[in-house]
Amino acid sequence: MLTKVIGQKYVSIAKSWIPTLALWGGVGGVALVHFTDWRLFLDYVPIINGKFKKEE
């Protein structure tokens, strides 16, 4: 259905970009965690969540 809207040529071009976009998305995610408060993100990981409990 998508090929009828935008054409076969552009669908094949988009398919060839999927691995590159996935790689850069992963790099961006790692950079986001690295340059921000990493505990904010790791609190949602179930295995790591219990290791860094704040004693209040």
Query: DSSP readout, 18-50?
Result: HHHHHHHHHHHHHHHHHHS-HHHHHTTSHHHHG
Q: Is the pLDDT of residue 51 over 70?
A: no
- pLDDT band of residue 55 (cuts 50, 70, 90) is low
Percent of the chain at pLDDT > 90 equals: 30
- pLDDT band of residue 20 (cuts 50, 70, 90) is very high
pLDDT of residue 1: 73
State the residue range of the domain holding 16: 2-52
- C-alpha gyration radius of the chain: 19
Number of domains composing the chain: 1
Phi, psi of 30 (to 5 degrees): -65, -40
pLDDT of residue 24: 97
